[in-house]
A and B are shown apart, each in its own frame.
Chain A
Amino acid sequence: MADLNTSPNLTDPDGLYRTLIDLHAGCTDAESHKRSAKLILCLANHIGDEHIFRQAVAIAGDAQTSAKDT
C-alpha cells in the first residue's frame, strides 16, 4: 500500500501557497470554510485512496502540528 508522501514534492511551493491564499481573498469565514471543503473533496477524489487520506487526516489532527496555531 502506498503511503502519504511527506517529503517536499513541489517545484514552486510559494506559488502554490499563494494560489491557496488567493482562493480565500475577500471571503467571509463561512465562504472560506466552504471553499476549503470543496478543495479537499476535489483532491481527495483525485487521490482516490482512503489510506492516504487517513494519513493526511492524522497529520492534520495531530496535537503537535495543531498546537502551533493556538
Chain B
Amino acid sequence: MARSSFSAIPRHKDYAAVPAAADNAHHVVIIVGGGPVGLTAALDLGQRGHKVVVLNQFDFISGGSKAICFGKRTLDIWNRLGVADRMVEKGVVWNIGKVFRGDRSEPIYEFDMLAAKDQKMPGFINLQQYWAEEFLIDAIMELPNVELRWGHQVSAIDTEANRLTIETDTDTYTATADWILACDGSRSAIRDMMGLDFEGRIFEDNFLIADVKFEEERPVERWFWFDPPWGGASALLHKQPDDIWRLDFQLGWDIDREAAIRPENVAPYVKGMIGDDVPFEEEWYSVYTFQCRRMARFVHDRVIFLGDSAHLVSPFGARGANGGVADADNLAWKLDAVLNGADASLIETFNEEGICTADENILKSTQSTDFMTPKSTVSRACRDAVLDLAEAHEFARPFVNSGRLSTPVSYPESSLTTPDRDTWTNGIAPGSPAIDLPLRNGWLLDSLDGGWNLLSGKAIEDAPLPVIVLDDDKARQRYGLSNGGAYLVRPDQYIAARWQHFTLDDLEATAWPT
C-alpha cells in the first residue's frame, strides 16, 4: 500500500510518527503490524518480559468498519493480559441471537452464546475494533520493553539474514531479528515478498456495511434476517457502543459498488430495517466481498504468520479477529519458552494448532456462507426447505445457519495433548480450553498464573508447578473432578492432560517441560 494513499483512511486516533531508527540494529522479536493480532502478541510477549519492536505502517488507529464481535475465548485471552475489563466496560454485552425470515415478526430460531453461566467474561461483546486496538495499545505503552514504531512500513525482507527494510515518511533503514512475526493483515506484504501461497475460495457476493448512529431502545441481541422485506438476500443488525449500530446487507454480485455506498442508496435499506421514523446519521458506509483462504504453512523458519496474513474467513461467524487473537495466544507462550531456552521445535506446534484453528474457522464460515448464499437450484431448495420447516417444526431449527459464531477450537490430536487414560463422562477434554467458574472470592481463570498449572481436587505435596485446588462442589462438577483427580493446564489455559487418580509421575507422559 503506497504511503501516499493513507490520507484517505478514516482515523480513530492519531499517534506521533516515530523517526527512523539507526541502520542494522538487531532485535529479538519484531512484530510487523499493529492490528488486534500483532498488538495481542506484543502485549503477551511483553508481559512475559521480552523485548519487542512493533512496526505499524500507520501512525494512527484506523476508524473504518472492521470487527465488532469479540467472543468469550478472545475475552478470556485479553483477561489473562489484563485488558478485558476495559473492553467489557466499553463494549455492548450480548448472548442471544435471533433469526428472522421475511416480514414475520417472530424469530424462526434463537441461540444463546453463553451455554455455561457463572463465568467472569460474557459470551460476546460488540466493540469497534478501533477501541480494542486502543486499549491494547494503552496496555503496551506501560511496558518499557515493548517499542511501538508508528509510521514504519516494511518494504523488503531478506529471509537469509532475517533482515527487514523499513520505510518512514522521510527515511529508509534496516533491522534484523531472531524472530519476525508477520501480523500485517490480509494483503500481507511479507507473504507476497516471500512469494508464499494463499489458497482458497472467493465468494461472489457484495455486502453493504452501514455503521449508523441513532438513539432507540432495542434489545441487545444479534438479529439476522433471511429474505428481509426491504430487499437483498439477508441482513444483520448489531448494536455497538455509543449508539452506533452495524447494519449489514447482502446485495448480490452484479452491483455498482460505488453507487451502493451513496447515502441516497443506503437510506432505503436502513429505513427498511429500523423504520421510517427513526432519524439516523452515517458513521461509515462501505461495501466488501469476502474470501476463505489460508497459507499452507504459518511457520517459515524464523518468520511466523499470524492472523489475517495467514488465514481469511467470511465474516459471518466473527472468526477473523477472534481466530487471529487465538494465534497470538497460541504462539506467545511457545515463543517465550523458546526464547528462554526450550527447543525451537515447539514453534512447529504453533503451525500445527494454528492450522487446526484456521481450518475449523474456514470450514464453519464456508458452511454458513453456503447456507446464506446457495450456489445451485438444489442447494437453494434445501436451504429454503430448512427455513420453511423451521417456523413450525423444532427439529429443523438447528439447521438454520446465519453464521456459527466463534467458539474456541480444540486440539485433541495435537502433539501437546495427552489422550485420556481414564473414562470420563463429564469435565473438559484434553485439547480444549479451561472453562471459567467462580472460585473462592474470584474466578478460576484469574487464579491461573500464565505458566503451566495443575487444577486438583485436593492439595498436592511437592508439586513442581503451581496447584489450584478446586474445593467447592460446583467447581468439581464442572470439571468432573474427584478428590484425587487433576488437570494439567497450559500457559494459554488449554487442558493438556487430566487424570482421575493423579500422581506426580503422570506428568512425565505430558508436554509439560520438566
Query: Which chain A residues have a beta carbon within 8 Å of chain B's beta carbons?
Result: 29-30, 33-38, 41-42, 45
Contact of A34 among B385, B395, B396, B399 (CB under 8 A): B385
- Compute how far the CA of A26 lies from the CA of B399 in the bound complex, rounded to whole angstroms: 28
Complexed CA–CA distance, A36 and B378 (Å): 10
Output the least CB separation between A36 and chain B (Å): 7
Which chain B positions have C-beta within 8 A of A36?
A: 381
Structural contact, B385 and A30, CB atoms closer than 8 A:
no
User: For the complex, would chain A's binding face be called helix, strand, loop or mixed by DSSP majority?
Assistant: helix
**Across the interface, which residues of A come within 8 angstroms of B399, CB to CB?**
41
CB–CB A37/B395 < 8 A: no
A29–B376 Cα distance when bound, in Å, is 13
- Given A38-B389, A41-B386, A45-B395, 6 extra CB contacts under 8 A: A33-B382, A34-B384, A36-B381, A37-B381, A38-B385, A41-B396
Q: Report A-chain residues with C-beta under 8 Å of the C-beta of B382.
A: 33, 37, 41
Interface majority SS (helix, strand, loop, mixed), chain B: helix
Contact size range, B: 10 to 19
Is B5 at the interface (CB under 8 A from chain A)?
A: no
Rounded to whole Å, the gap between the CB of A66 and the closest CB of chain B is: 14
Please indicate the chain A residues that have their CB under 8 angstroms from the CB of B395 in the complex. 41-42, 45
* Contact status A30-B396, CB under 8 Å: no
**Residues on the B chain within 8 Å of A38, using CB:** 385, 388-389
The interface centre, meaning the residue of A30, A35, A36, A38 with most chain B CB atoms within 10 A of its CB, is A38
B340 at the interface (CB under 8 A from A): no
**Residues on A with beta carbons closer than 8 Å to the beta carbon of B385:** 34-35, 37-38, 41
Task: Give 25 A-B contacts (CB < 8 Å), ordered by A residue.
Answer: A29-B377, A30-B377, A30-B381, A33-B377, A33-B381, A34-B381, A34-B384, A34-B385, A34-B388, A35-B385, A36-B381, A37-B378, A37-B381, A37-B382, A37-B384, A37-B385, A37-B386, A38-B385, A38-B389, A41-B385, A41-B396, A41-B399, A42-B389, A45-B395, A45-B396
Expressed in whole angstroms, the minimum distance between the Cβ of B92 and any Cβ of chain A is: 35
Nearest neighbor of B376 in chain A, beta-carbon distance? A33
**Those 5 A-B pairs whose CB atoms lie nearest each other, nearest first:** A33-B381, A37-B385, A37-B382, A38-B385, A45-B395
Closest to A35 in B: B385
Do A33 and B378 have beta carbons less than 8 Å apart? yes
Q: Chain B nearest CB: distance from A59 CB in Å?
A: 18
